[in-house]
A and B are shown apart, each in its own frame.
Chain A
């Protein structure tokens, strides 16, 4: 093992009201891929932001490449040799790919200090070629797909020729193939002697690519070690202080009559000819690579976007929602993909968040709110989800990601839905919460609720769903059931290779 490149001693970061990092140690060596592990809110992203100069630490010492460092902004960190791919995508949609890569460190003509567009475009072209990305450097980023955007973001970090590359959940928006590409690049970097700090909630990835790990819990340093000397259960135990039954909960399907029937549903530029039937008590998985159009389908079903063709029926009656409100009247509920932007009102209390979809029923003649009713209601459904918070009066933005997800779930179960749609409910949340969500989904199904579960994690869909609808680039490639559900089958359909006929149940 090489010598230490980055050493973090006694790092503490205090936000008003919370100790995000408490006396943390971390050592990263050149030529290693170092996994930073911890459940939601453990302080991983905070650590990354301190390393890149976005936040200043409250206390502690950082040594990088033999020198003590205290960056004031991202540029200083970059110049010192630390770059990061942040958890939240940070792109400029109205600007070109070239410019997105060079923003903050545009190349200048040394003679007259004029920006050297020619050189930047040329470099970008090469960089993209290296990544095997087929993108014109002049394309505006707003015209790229989500996954491509993420790849551009990764190229950006690589363009900087850093000594330490930090990747904060880089794979959460990538397709399998792109993950492979990414891992190829990571190995490449490692060979060149660079250090990589890798953050992910997916253990397969950690075991595949990482050499060393450090575990954080509640902002505190727990343990570090070699990945190959450890195993999943051990790490999970370090992360959350107990072991988790990682088995998917046993779901005894109690499938009833058809609730929702979708025929040839289409939307311009998003998806076409989606047809399926959803039964009471059934969990229907939606699988596809990122960008396959699953979100669009459920958005249309929930009345957010209009359909361009096709019909829907609920309980045999025509169903054509014009708004989510309509959809809710028919007994639908949607737990959206982006909990921060679509699921929660971050600056409102948990109480007000949870009661938001059912305000009408909690009020006098749909008009005047009744605090008492609201309180009992929220307590009932909130406690059911075991939300960890300082109380129901605190704002939703003070919660960690996983708990925010629980609030969103609590918010929707209260509507007592007939059809529950979950769009990536476990994305970016830690194992413990994930298990709780799985439990909850099964419970809903056994109570007779029809569930649509969108997930990009193959094991999750296979473990949870009774049947799986697979999509590929906006088209439905198969609906798999029972024995047909194998990892191989599902994946083949997802990449558009449909030889085995998926039966239409």
Chain B
């Protein structure tokens, strides 16, 4: 933006960046790093096992993480605003429970979907209202609702499992697009991800999310309805939890009160790994998509090598920490470079 009259700041600014510096700048971009990591994972596992680089397997493996990856998308909005939701797995269980129970009563597929979405949306809305109403940190409130939402299916279902579903219900979570090897869930995920990317990066809503994440107070003074947007974020997440519950029920065709346990942590890991700052205000959808693919294929590859789940948890846990540590070290490196250059001048 050099047109128009531009006054140069006082305090002696550092000169234009050289090409080399710009290259370093690019390579140290988080999305680029994720891309490189993803390539490393793919190349590594393709060399380690003949089963990895296989079109069907690569597609089929997405069943394992599509639902979580979908939920990571609205979670971007929540974390972007500096909030967090650790009740999402419970909402998935709650809406899954409603789907299962209703299906046993003979409810048809469209109504099941609506019901599931409705329950999820309401649960998310309650989260949002409680957080903004009580003016309490989201982590505290969703810690409580986590137990409450999980408590309902646990209390009602007890030992029971819902296993009766209408004909064709399994399509959404298990089947491929007819005539291809592309899972329906994957297509759904990519579609939703595209919408989220558009909303975050191209709309006023997205811009406002960034503003809130960086300074909620300034956002408020600038005429942004911060409370309402936070409520919308939680409600939106609830809506997608409802979708997640529906897809999960469709995939495993058996709903118990303990479905989706541990998803909260996994999904937050995806979002943070994708480069969304946990304190809000920074991140991209493409980063989270790459993060989801990275974790998904890393786990798939390790599974092929018959790594135990234990090793996988350790690897994913370490990845999360490294993901946050690395950009920090890079920043430090960049700052030091700048300093050295300045001192030389």
Interface set of A (CB-CB < 8 Å, partner B): 14, 16-20, 22, 41, 43, 58, 218-219, 302, 304, 323-325, 327-328, 334, 336, 341-348, 351-352, 356-357, 359-360, 363, 366-369, 375, 379, 382-383, 386-393, 398-400, 403, 411
Q: Are B215 and A357 in contact (CB under 8 A)?
A: no
Tell me the total A-B contact number using a CB cutoff of 8 A. 131
Q: Are B1 and A391 in contact (CB under 8 A)?
A: yes
Q: What are some 22 contacts across the A-B interface (CB < 8 A)?
A: A16-B334, A16-B338, A16-B339, A17-B13, A17-B14, A58-B339, A302-B221, A304-B221, A324-B222, A325-B224, A348-B210, A348-B211, A351-B1, A356-B211, A359-B207, A363-B203, A363-B204, A366-B204, A369-B203, A388-B10, A390-B13, A403-B9
Q: Are A387 and B7 in contact (CB under 8 A)?
A: yes
Does B225 make an interface contact (CB < 8 A)?
yes
Q: Are B203 and A368 in contact (CB under 8 A)?
A: yes
Q: Are A345 and B219 in contact (CB under 8 A)?
A: yes
- Distance in angstroms between the alpha carbons of A144 and B13 in the assembled complex: 42
The minimal Cβ–Cβ distance linking A419 to chain B, given in whole angstroms, is 14
Per-residue CB proximity of B60-87 to A under 8 Å, as 1/0? 0000000000000000000000000000
Does B299 make an interface contact (CB < 8 A)?
no
Q: Are B214 and A383 in contact (CB under 8 A)?
A: no
With a cutoff of 8 Å between Cβ atoms, the chain A residues found around residue B14 in the complex are 17-18
Q: Are A393 and B1 in contact (CB under 8 A)?
A: yes
Q: Are B281 and A347 in contact (CB under 8 A)?
A: yes
- Distance in angstroms between the alpha carbons of A359 and B210 in the assembled complex: 13
Q: Are B11 and A20 in contact (CB under 8 A)?
A: yes
Does B159 make an interface contact (CB < 8 A)?
no
- Distance in angstroms between the alpha carbons of A17 and B282 in the assembled complex: 21
- Distance in angstroms between the alpha carbons of A400 and B8 in the assembled complex: 12
The minimal Cβ–Cβ distance linking A402 to chain B, given in whole angstroms, is 10
Does B105 make an interface contact (CB < 8 A)?
no
Q: Are B343 and A341 in contact (CB under 8 A)?
A: no
Pick the residue among B3, B4, B10, B215 that contacts A345 (CB under 8 A). B215
Does B220 make an interface contact (CB < 8 A)?
yes
Q: Are A328 and B10 in contact (CB under 8 A)?
A: no
Pick the residue among B5, B221, B338 that contacts A336 (CB under 8 A). B221
Q: Are B4 and A383 in contact (CB under 8 A)?
A: yes
Q: Are A368 and B4 in contact (CB under 8 A)?
A: no
With a cutoff of 8 Å between Cβ atoms, the chain B residues found around residue A351 in the complex are 1
Q: Are A357 and B223 in contact (CB under 8 A)?
A: yes
On whether A218 and B4 interact (CB within 8 A), knowing A325-B225, A345-B218, A367-B203, the answer reads no
On whether A19 and B12 interact (CB within 8 A), knowing A341-B217, A347-B214, the answer reads yes
Pick the residue among A14, A219, A324, A403 that contacts B220 (CB under 8 A). A324
Q: Are A58 and B9 in contact (CB under 8 A)?
A: no
Does B2 make an interface contact (CB < 8 A)?
yes
The minimal Cβ–Cβ distance linking B338 to chain A, given in whole angstroms, is 5
- Distance in angstroms between the alpha carbons of A207 and B338 in the assembled complex: 41
- Distance in angstroms between the alpha carbons of A388 and B225 in the assembled complex: 31
- Distance in angstroms between the alpha carbons of A291 and B21 in the assembled complex: 50
Which of B1, B9, B339 has the largest number of chain A CB atoms within 10 A?
B9
The minimal Cβ–Cβ distance linking B334 to chain A, given in whole angstroms, is 8
Per-residue CB proximity of B1-36 to A under 8 Å, as 1/0? 111111111111110000000000000000000000
Does B304 make an interface contact (CB < 8 A)?
no
Q: Are A379 and B218 in contact (CB under 8 A)?
A: no
With a cutoff of 8 Å between Cβ atoms, the chain A residues found around residue B281 in the complex are 347
Q: Are A328 and B214 in contact (CB under 8 A)?
A: no
Residue of A nearest to B5 (CB): A383
With a cutoff of 8 Å between Cβ atoms, the chain A residues found around residue B306 in the complex are none
On whether A375 and B218 interact (CB within 8 A), knowing A325-B223, A359-B207, the answer reads no
Q: Are B339 and A14 in contact (CB under 8 A)?
A: yes
Residue of B nearest to A360 (CB): B204
Which of B3, B220, B334 has the largest number of chain A CB atoms within 10 A?
B220
Pick the residue among A366, A369, A379 that contacts B1 (CB under 8 A). A379
With a cutoff of 8 Å between Cβ atoms, the chain B residues found around residue A382 in the complex are 4
Q: Are A392 and B208 in contact (CB under 8 A)?
A: no
With a cutoff of 8 Å between Cβ atoms, the chain A residues found around residue B218 in the complex are 341-345, 356
- Distance in angstroms between the alpha carbons of A473 and B219 in the assembled complex: 29
With a cutoff of 8 Å between Cβ atoms, the chain A residues found around residue B6 in the complex are 389, 391
On whether A399 and B9 interact (CB within 8 A), knowing A58-B343, A348-B211, A360-B204, the answer reads yes
Per-residue CB proximity of B274-316 to A under 8 Å, as 1/0? 0000000110000000000000000000000000000000000
14 extra A-B contacts, CB within 8 A, seeds A58-B343, A218-B12: A16-B335, A19-B342, A20-B11, A219-B11, A323-B225, A334-B221, A345-B211, A346-B215, A356-B219, A357-B223, A383-B4, A388-B7, A390-B9, A400-B10
The minimal Cβ–Cβ distance linking B81 to chain A, given in whole angstroms, is 13
- Distance in angstroms between the alpha carbons of A386 and B225 in the assembled complex: 30
The minimal Cβ–Cβ distance linking A413 to chain B, given in whole angstroms, is 14
On whether A357 and B202 interact (CB within 8 A), knowing A14-B343, A347-B214, A348-B214, the answer reads no
Residue of A nearest to B221 (CB): A342
- Distance in angstroms between the alpha carbons of A327 and B224 in the assembled complex: 11
With a cutoff of 8 Å between Cβ atoms, the chain B residues found around residue A22 in the complex are 12
Q: Are B220 and A304 in contact (CB under 8 A)?
A: yes
On whether A389 and B9 interact (CB within 8 A), knowing A328-B223, A363-B204, A366-B204, the answer reads yes
Q: Are B1 and A392 in contact (CB under 8 A)?
A: yes
With a cutoff of 8 Å between Cβ atoms, the chain B residues found around residue A218 in the complex are 10-12
Q: Are B342 and A367 in contact (CB under 8 A)?
A: no
Residue of A nearest to B201 (CB): A369
10 nearest A-B pairs in the assembled complex, by CB-CB distance: A388-B7, A325-B223, A379-B4, A16-B335, A328-B223, A359-B204, A345-B214, A347-B214, A356-B222, A16-B338
Q: Are A219 and B207 in contact (CB under 8 A)?
A: no
Pick the residue among B13, B222, B282 that contacts A357 (CB under 8 A). B222
Pick the residue among B7, B12, B219 that contacts A389 (CB under 8 A). B7
- Distance in angstroms between the alpha carbons of A366 and B205 in the assembled complex: 9
The minimal Cβ–Cβ distance linking A88 to chain B, given in whole angstroms, is 16
- Distance in angstroms between the alpha carbons of A346 and B4 in the assembled complex: 23
Name B201-252 residues within 8 Å CB distance of A.
Answer: 202-208, 210-211, 214-215, 217-225
Residue of A nearest to B226 (CB): A323
- Distance in angstroms between the alpha carbons of A403 and B211 in the assembled complex: 20
The minimal Cβ–Cβ distance linking A22 to chain B, given in whole angstroms, is 7
The minimal Cβ–Cβ distance linking A161 to chain B, given in whole angstroms, is 36
Q: Are A375 and B225 in contact (CB under 8 A)?
A: no
The minimal Cβ–Cβ distance linking A118 to chain B, given in whole angstroms, is 36
- Distance in angstroms between the alpha carbons of A185 and B202 in the assembled complex: 57
Q: Are A324 and B221 in contact (CB under 8 A)?
A: yes
Q: Are B1 and A388 in contact (CB under 8 A)?
A: no
With a cutoff of 8 Å between Cβ atoms, the chain B residues found around residue A367 in the complex are 203-205
With a cutoff of 8 Å between Cβ atoms, the chain B residues found around residue A390 in the complex are 8-9, 13
Name B89-113 residues within 8 Å CB distance of A.
Answer: none
With a cutoff of 8 Å between Cβ atoms, the chain B residues found around residue A323 in the complex are 223, 225
